[in-house]
């Protein structure tokens, strides 16, 4: 199978090697077409966003207003902070020039003169590698003012690498824009959407790193070629980052619609010790988990996973064997979302903390059966009631883990427990009150 995003070519990250293999030829072809032709090609290809939402890339580009004198911007989202997701950094390391070429083509298509590649703050190594590739591209005239001479076009754009400060919330597109502007990473209320009111109040398009890296091959080989790969409703290849209890964890570029069991057993080498699988989270920690006994026939594409009650997310496949303590796993996931909540919305700010406290209580052996239902209630009250999707990301693991693995929780909780109440008055410090009678 042909690798589109991570071709197996030695030293492909070097500009000379990239040029020897047809690098920047797609950009030359693109600049000979109209912007509408480029957008139409991307639409017909069926390319969908690889950042989690799986929205049509070409359709998103078409939202950019044409009869508007305001500056236009492109943001490339490399704030890869989802636990279980580590695929975009492979592009930054092994194929940065295809990302850069895709960025200038996208800028041309939407009429943007400036692009920001936003990379998570912890990616120090990959930021340096991307900046080196960008410096080389500037020097050779593939980016910046020299583009006009290199490509014989009137169009030019600048690309900037913007380093985040390690906040997960900045992976949300409007919080990302606030961060670039130098503001606190708070998601914005929508509408207005970025295409109408984005960076500094100007029209802006946001795409994921992997999404943009797919653009040059589509322009070069045509939409028919791309749309014929994988599942028709979610075509192309997808980078699957497999982690957990597998013999060969890593990033695998495979056609969309590849069987989940093939990814685990054929490419990731199967489960360590040939143990049974208890749970798989197919798209990063925020996606609904799947039971190990329900994996047969499950395909890895947006529509197929939706049909079985999960989502493709970032393609981060997290495998857990039969000995995994799922309650502890959920408590760790809950801690992450509690820590990363920006605090803007009350349901998320308060609810993530409540869920973490209850889960920690259950882990300590101090939980009751009522706590299980209470967790689900809190999760449902967070879900759909926040400005951005972080609330859903925090709620789904709790809601669906309990729904699909309730027996795991019921096995370690009690009908009733007696705890030493905190902050008791002096006269009661030698007493212990059962939880049940306490009225809140």
Closest Cα to residue 68, out of 110, 109, 115, 31? 110
CA atoms within 13 A on the CB side of 173: 23
Please give the Cα distance from 38 to 218 (Å, whole number).
10
Where, residue-wise, is CATH 1.20.1440.230 in the chain?
Answer: 326-410
Which CATH class, in words, describes the domain spanning 326-410?
mainly alpha
* Architecture per CATH, 230-321: Roll (3.10)
Cis peptide before 5 (omega within 30 of 0): no
8 A C-beta contact, residue 128 and residue 86? no
Give all strands (DSSP E) within 53-201, no chain letters.
73-78, 114-119, 158-163
Give all strands (DSSP E) within 51-208, no chain letters.
73-78, 114-119, 158-163, 204-208
β-bridge mates for residue 77, sequence order: 118, 208
Cβ atoms within 10 Å, residue 134: 23
8 A C-beta contact, residue 254 and residue 267? yes
Dihedral of CA atoms 137, 143, 146, 150 in degrees, nearest 10, equals 80
The pTM assigned to this predicted structure is 0.92
* Architecture per CATH, 15-227: 3-Layer(aba) Sandwich (3.40)
**The predicted structure's pLDDT at residue 424:** 63
8 A C-beta contact, residue 219 and residue 226? no
Give 181-184's long-range contacts (Cβ < 8 A, gap of 24+): 184/342
Read off the DSSP letter of residue 296: T
Q: Look at the chain and count its residues.
A: 440
Phi-psi region at 274: left, alpha or beta (left = phi > 0; alpha = psi -120 to 50) = left
Beta strand 114-119 pairing with 73-78: parallel
Which residues are within 8 A (CB) of 373 and not within 5 positions of it... i.e. 6 or more apart?
none
Dihedral sign for Cα atoms in the order 197, 201, 204, 206:
negative
Where, residue-wise, is CATH 3.40.50.11540 in the chain?
Answer: 15-227
Give burial (CB, 10 Å; 0-12/13-18/19+) of 351.
Answer: buried
Q: What is the pLDDT along the chain (440 residues), one digit of tens a residue?
A: 789 999 999 999 999 999 999 999 999 999 999 999 999 999 999 999 999 889 999 999 999 998 888 999 999 999 999 999 999 999 999 999 999 999 999 999 999 999 999 999 999 999 999 999 999 999 999 999 999 999 999 999 999 999 999 899 999 999 999 999 999 999 999 999 999 999 999 999 999 999 999 999 999 999 999 999 999 999 999 999 999 999 999 999 999 999 999 999 999 999 999 999 999 999 999 999 999 999 999 999 999 999 999 999 999 999 999 999 999 999 999 999 999 999 999 999 999 999 999 999 999 999 999 999 999 999 999 999 999 999 999 999 999 999 999 999 999 998 887 766 666 666 555 655 555 554 54
């Amino acid at each position: 199978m042909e690798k589109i995003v991570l071709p197996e070519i030695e030293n492909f990250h070097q500009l000379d090697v990239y040029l020897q293999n047809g690098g920047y030829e797609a950009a030359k072809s693109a600049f000979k077409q109209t912007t509408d032709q480029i957008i139409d090609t991307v639409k017909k290809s069926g390319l969908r966003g690889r950042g989690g939402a799986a929205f049509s890339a070409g359709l998103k580009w078409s939202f950019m207003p044409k009869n508007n004198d305001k500056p236009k911007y492109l943001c490339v989202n490399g704030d890869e902070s989802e636990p279980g997701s580590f695929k975009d950094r492979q592009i930054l390391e092994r194929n940065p020039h295809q990302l850069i070429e895709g960025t200038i083509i996208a800028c041309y298509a939407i009429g943007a003169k400036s692009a920001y590649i936003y990379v998570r703050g912890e990616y120090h190594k990959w930021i340096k590698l991307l900046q080196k590739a960008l410096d080389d591209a500037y020097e050779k005239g593939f980016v910046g003012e020299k583009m006009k001479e290199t490509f014989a076009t009137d169009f030019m754009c600048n690309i900037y690498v913007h380093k985040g400060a390690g906040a997960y919330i900045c992976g949300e597109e409007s919080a990302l824009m606030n961060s670039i502007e130098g503001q606190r990473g708070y998601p914005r209320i929508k509408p207005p959407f970025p295409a109408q009111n984005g960076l500094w109040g100007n029209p802006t398009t946001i795409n994921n790193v992997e999404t943009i890296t797919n653009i040059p091959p589509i322009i070069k080989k045509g939409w028919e070629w791309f749309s014929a790969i994988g599942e028709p409703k979610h075509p192309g290849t997808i980078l699957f980052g497999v982690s957990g209890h597998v013999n060969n964890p890593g990033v695998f570029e495979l056609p969309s619609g590849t069987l989940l069991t093939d990814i685990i057993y054929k490419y990731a080498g199967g489960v360590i010790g040939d143990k049974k699988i208890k749970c798989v989270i197919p798209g990063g920690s925020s996606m609904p988990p799947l039971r190990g006994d329900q994996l047969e026939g499950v395909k890895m594409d947006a529509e197929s996973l939706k049909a079985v009650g999960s989502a493709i997310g970032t393609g981060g496949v997290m495998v857990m064997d039969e000995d995994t303590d799922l309650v502890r796993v959920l408590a760790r996931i809950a801690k992450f979302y509690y820590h990363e909540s920006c605090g803007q919305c009350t349901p998320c700010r308060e609810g993530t903390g409540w869920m973490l406290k209850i889960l920690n209580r259950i882990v300590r052996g101090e939980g009751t059966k009522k706590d299980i239902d209470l967790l689900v209630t809190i999760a449902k009250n967070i879900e759909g009631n926040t400005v951005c999707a972080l609330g859903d990301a925090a709620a789904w693991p709790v809601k669906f883990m309990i729904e699909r693995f309730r027996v795991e929780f019921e096995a370690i909780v009690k009908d009733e427990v007696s705890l030493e109440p905190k902050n008791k008055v002096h006269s009661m410090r030698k007493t212990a009150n059962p939880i049940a009678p306490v009225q809140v």
